[in-house]
Amino acid sequence: MIRSTLTPAGRRMAVYSLNTVVVGTGAAGYNAADRLWSFGQRDIAIVTEHINAGTSRNTGSDKQTYYKLTLSGGDPDSVRDMAQTLFDGQCMDGDNALCEAALSAQSFLRLVELGVPFPRNAYGEYVGYKTDHDPRRRATSVGPYTSKRMTECLQQAVEAKGIPVLENLQVISILSDGQQAWGLLCLDLKAADDPERRFVAFNCKNIIYATGGPAGMYADSVFPRGHYGASGAAFEAGAKGQNLTEWQYGLASVNPRWNVSGTYMQVLPCFFSTDQNGGDPREFLMDFFSNRGEMLTQVFLKGYQWPFDVRKVAGGSSIVDILVYLESCKGRKVYLDFRRNPCGGAEIDYAALSPEARTYLEQAGACFGTPLERLLHMNKPAVDFYLDRGVDLAKQPLEIALCAQHNNGGLAVNKWWQTNVEGLFACGEVSGSHGVYRPGGSALNETQVGSTRAAQYIAARRSGQSPDESVFVQRSQALIERHTAVADAALQGDVGNVQAIWDEAAARMSRFGACIRSKADLEMLRAEVAQRLSAFPDTVRAGSHRDLWKVYRLRDTLIAQQVYLSAMLDYIARDGKSRGSALYTDPGGVKPYESLPDVFTFTVDDGHRAGLVQEVEWQQGKCLCRWRKVRPIPEDDDFFENVWRSYRESGNIDP
Ligand SMILES: Cc1cc2nc3c(=O)[nH]c(=O)nc-3n(C[C@H](O)[C@H](O)[C@H](O)COP(=O)(O)OP(=O)(O)OC[C@H]3O[C@@H](n4cnc5c(N)ncnc54)[C@H](O)[C@@H]3O)c2cc1C
């Protein structure tokens, strides 16, 4: 890596020249760098806004799941079988599914070697359990913090190799002409006050973009605080998005951000809401349910039917998500209270529960007392988790919302996780390698597989130095000028409004562009976003250099919102029906409960689009959507001599 001081577009800045820049220090980014090094590509660096930021390091759940090929027992499994499971999640490309299955064991065992304590039995078998959308028992976990342990172990591996990590650099632009990427422009978060040092650029042949899901779009979010993603910059650079409509939403506490799944629901807490100031408390679930046993049963089921699922609204537990969402839409705050039983604290009539719920609670010996007493009895660590974060469930209720948790879609990638922009690779959650449904834990598998594939390809096919600095300066001038001008405009005046605009934009997205999607609301919101973007230079003000990073974040977020909203509207225009975690209002559909507002009239998708992928491209503020067939799972060429010969010739890494 060579460091120079150059003056593209008349701006003095440090420019680093090197073969590959990895962006992000999550599970995907660290693994990409570690693999590049192991495959022999040493002219690399990692760029990150904060080493300790991101979803992998800062999130978890009751039993955070990693999905892998079966490595224990007598259950039959195969690479092909696992690829089929992933592919069956709909709208997923078969080559990506096959790679995720084929590299699963290698990626998993590498993590084991690095020290991630995945449990094994006395004979060394990595025994698994069944997760959602999983026909086998391929899931495993190290507890609530699987992704954190992965990240820590991968970080150690990277540090041991001495791979440079450049921190406090926020990528604000991917330098590209839409066909090919050749660098990055970053804001130096430690030097934002100094126009001579504020910007740093990278001149490189390859970028592995591992910036995580675009969480900054939503206010109601269980992504960790301080994680925003950076998909807007990739769209602006010409990268296509795919399956962007496919998110997972579910109930989560907002402070701290944590999924309230599993036992938190099975102990039957009391749901209530208040006005914004904490006044006018009232339980609201029984406004909808006419039968107390039915209400409690659906709350119980929400425990292991965590994500909002349109197939479980009629007669199912997803009605609980909707009732929470509707309460929030009234401007009220929603809470779980573990100190008292639902319906005014009355003793629970366990006989009124469904046999499934009743039997479970009976077997757990938990048919007594308050929700908190039941939770302490069944899962004390779940209480301790909140206590450790300053929330004593014995003394206070827990605020919740229906939150965005994961984006299955993202940037479109080929089987080497390269986007349509040459030299720009995307792996981890920023990539759109999954479709409507995916087995729990497959996101973490993909962070490892996608990054390994990109590293393999770069090491084999895209080695060599970055172009000459003069070439870099010449072709980057206009882009650098455009992006640095954003700061000049935002620093006018000393009254900032960027946080307020961002809060408003994110809240509107949670209200109208999350799991409940109607054409009229989406159109209204997209027009709002377009207006915010076009007025950006004249309206958004940082107030001081300290908030300059937010200005670039907001711009990135608005571009992402525009692309995602366009994808949703195009889906409706193509007569797309409700699927996964997204309910689309359909006047020709059915409203499962008369008491719900009309926006909940919808039709559940029959899977006829399972073989199609929606792609979206951002071009100068306009979004173009196209549909294509999924790439099928490639047919096996398993004749060993053939594979061996081509492997000797090309490593089986096609150009
Ligand atoms: C509550 C919750 C529970 C989950 N449970 C599971 C589970 O059980 N199983 C599963 O498989 N998945 C789960 N997931 C999803 C999974 O955790 C994530 O998909 C995965 O960790 C993403 O890893 P990543 O490396 O792609 O991104 P991240 O870990 O988010 O890392 C992104 C990195 O990019 C950096 N970055 C971002 N923007 C910029 C920029 N502009 N400039 C510089 N750096 C930047 C960030 O600082 C960070 O270092 C869960 C997610 C949540 C929120």
Instruction: Tell me, using a 6 A CB cutoff, whether residue 100 lines ligand 1.
Output: no
**From CA 285, how far away is CA 273, in angstroms rounded?**
10
Instruction: Tell me, using a 6 A CB cutoff, whether residue 450 lines ligand 1.
Output: no
Q: If you average pLDDT over residues 628-635, what whole number do you get?
A: 96
The candidate with the shortest Cα–Cα distance to 100, out of 119, 87, 115, 114, is 87
Instruction: Tell me, using a 6 A CB cutoff, whether residue 248 lines ligand 1.
Output: no
Specify the domain boundaries for CATH 1.20.58.100 within the chain: 492-607
Which pLDDT value is given to residue 255?
95
From 406, 407, 438, 486, mutation site for ligand 1 pocket: most ligand atoms within 8 A of C-beta: 406
Q: Looking at ligand 1, which atom is closest to the CA of residue 65?
A: 8
User: Contacts by 521-525 with C-beta closer than 8 Å and gap 24+?
Assistant: 521/599, 522/565, 522/568, 522/569, 522/572, 523/569, 525/561, 525/565
Q: State yes or no: pLDDT of 637 exceeds 80.
A: no
In this structure, the residue with its CA closest to atom 26 of ligand 1 is 428
Give the model confidence (pLDDT) of 174-190 as tens digits.
999 999 999 999 999 99
What residues form DSSP beta bridges with 283?
272
List of E strands, 112-268: 139-140, 165-166, 169-176, 181-188, 199-209, 241-242, 247-254, 257-259
Q: State yes or no: pLDDT of 287 exceeds 80.
A: yes
Q: pLDDT grade, residue 22 (50/70/90)?
A: very high
Q: State yes or no: pLDDT of 172 exceeds 80.
A: yes
From 50, 63, 147, mutation site for ligand 1 pocket: most ligand atoms within 8 A of C-beta: 147
Q: If you average pLDDT over residues 345-367, what whole number do you get?
A: 95
Question: What is the pLDDT of the chain when averaged over all its residues?
Answer: 96
Q: pLDDT grade, residue 132 (50/70/90)?
A: confident
The CA 217 to ligand 1 mean position distance, Å, reads 15
Instruction: Tell me, using a 6 A CB cutoff, whether residue 54 lines ligand 1.
Output: yes
Which pLDDT value is given to residue 621?
84
Give the model confidence (pLDDT) of 608-620 as tens digits.
999 999 999 998 8
- At 411 the three-state DSSP class reads strand
The CA 56 to ligand 1 mean position distance, Å, reads 4
Instruction: Tell me, using a 6 A CB cutoff, whether residue 64 lines ligand 1.
Output: yes
Higher pLDDT, 99 or 75: 99
Q: Looking at ligand 1, which atom is closest to the CA of residue 441?
A: 11
The CA 410 to ligand 1 mean position distance, Å, reads 13
Q: Give the list of residues 6+ apart from residue 349 with CB closer than 8 angstroms, or none.
A: 292, 293
- Angle, CA of 207, 212 and 218, to the nearest 5°: 135
Instruction: Tell me, using a 6 A CB cutoff, whether residue 221 lines ligand 1.
Output: no
User: Contacts by 127-131 with C-beta closer than 8 Å and gap 24+?
Assistant: 127/72, 127/73, 128/68, 128/70, 128/71, 128/72, 131/65, 131/67, 131/439, 131/440, 131/441
The CA 150 to ligand 1 mean position distance, Å, reads 12
Q: State yes or no: pLDDT of 638 exceeds 90.
A: no
Instruction: Tell me, using a 6 A CB cutoff, whether residue 409 lines ligand 1.
Output: no
Q: Give the list of residues 6+ apart from residue 209 with CB closer than 8 angstroms, or none.
A: 23, 24, 174, 230, 234, 411, 419, 424, 425, 426, 427, 430
Q: If you average pLDDT over residues 102-110, what whole number do you get?
A: 98
In this structure, the residue with its CA closest to atom 41 of ligand 1 is 171
Give the model confidence (pLDDT) of 641-650 as tens digits.
999 999 999 9
Which pLDDT value is given to residue 636?
78
Helices and strands (H and E) in the chain: how many: 20, 22
Full-model pTM = 0.97
Q: If you average pLDDT over residues 428-439, what whole number do you get?
A: 96
Per DSSP, the residues of 332-393 read -EEEEESSS-TTTTPPP-GGGS-HHHHHHHHHTT--SS-HHHHHHHHHHHHHHHHHHTT--T
Contact status, residue 96 vs residue 630, Cβ threshold 8 Å = no
The CA 272 to ligand 1 mean position distance, Å, reads 31
Query: Cis (ω within 30 of 0) for the bond into 164?
Result: no
Q: If you average pLDDT over residues 230-249, what whole number do you get?
A: 98
Which pLDDT value is given to residue 267?
97
Q: State yes or no: pLDDT of 455 exceeds 80.
A: yes
- At 299 the three-state DSSP class reads helix
Q: State yes or no: pLDDT of 524 exceeds 80.
A: yes
Instruction: Tell me, using a 6 A CB cutoff, whether residue 25 lines ligand 1.
Output: yes
Lowest average pLDDT, out of 14-18, 543-547, 617-621, goes to: 617-621
Q: Can you name the CATH fold of 492-607? A: Methane Monooxygenase Hydroxylase; Chain G, domain 1 (1.20.58)
Instruction: Tell me, using a 6 A CB cutoff, whether residue 56 lines ligand 1.
Output: yes
Instruction: Tell me, using a 6 A CB cutoff, whether residue 223 lines ligand 1.
Output: yes
